[in-house]
Chains A and B, each alone.
Chain A
Amino acid sequence: DAGVIQSPRHEVTEMGQEVTLRCKPISGHDYLFWYRQTMMRGLELLIYFNNNVPIDDSGMPEDRFSAKMPNASFSTLKIQPSEPRDSAVYFCASSFKGNTIYFGEGSWLTVV
């Protein structure tokens, strides 16, 4: 079975540019999560969706961050404009009925 698929795996961008991270959850899963991992703060939940509807976005750092899930098989996390402090690994994860949560390989973002 294909797991959670994220793209790009690595991105280096200049400050001020727009960054779009993409995620395809495991087929049939009804929950999708976006996490961010940094050395300082560890793993933090940014937002999660249930049946394509955002349920909790309290972890989204600020208005520069936005996430969408237009259908059950695709989600995006957008940062506009990007800043150096946004450099982190961004993980997408999905689950069925919310219990066993599977992570993608992550998108490693560097903003210079």
Chain B
Amino acid sequence: GEDVEQSLFLSVREGDSSVINCTYTDSSSTYLYWYKQEPGAGLQLLTYIFSNMDMKQDQRLTVLLNKKDKHLSLRIADTQTGDSAIYFCAELLRNYGGSQGNLIFGKGTKLSVKP
């Protein structure tokens, strides 16, 4: 079945890099996403990558995609205390015919940044 797996916790020191990993199951997924959720808030779209790309960089964020292994990672450079949040990986499944489908989310990785 469809499933997105993430480790539940990650703890880093301020200034270090954080790497959050995710595995997904549907090789036909066209888009893969990273969302950030701070306590009591909604899901903020951080970045996304199209399945024909290997890497995408956006300021401190780097997304790496390994389609063969169905592995997605989010690297946050120079992690700050403000980066403490839950990070969700999600894959976009397409319905038959290619129309919009469902976003399948992982359970989220709680990133704790220690000063």
Contacts and interface: CB of A to CB of B under 8 A. Distances in A.
Interface residues of A, number: 23
A45 B102 contact: yes
Grouping DSSP codes into helix (H, G, I), strand (E, B) and loop, the A interface class, with mixed when no group exceeds half, is strand
Contacts of B105: 42-43
B59 interface: no
Contacts of A106: 41-42
Interface in A40-94: 42-43, 45, 48, 50, 55-56, 91, 93
A2 B63 CA distance: 27
A100 B48 contact: yes
Given A42-B106, A42-B108, A56-B95, 12 more contacts: A31-B100, A42-B105, A43-B88, A48-B100, A55-B100, A56-B102, A97-B100, A99-B30, A100-B45, A100-B48, A103-B35, A105-B42
Interface of A: 31, 33, 42-43, 45, 48, 50, 55-56, 91, 93, 95, 97-106, 108
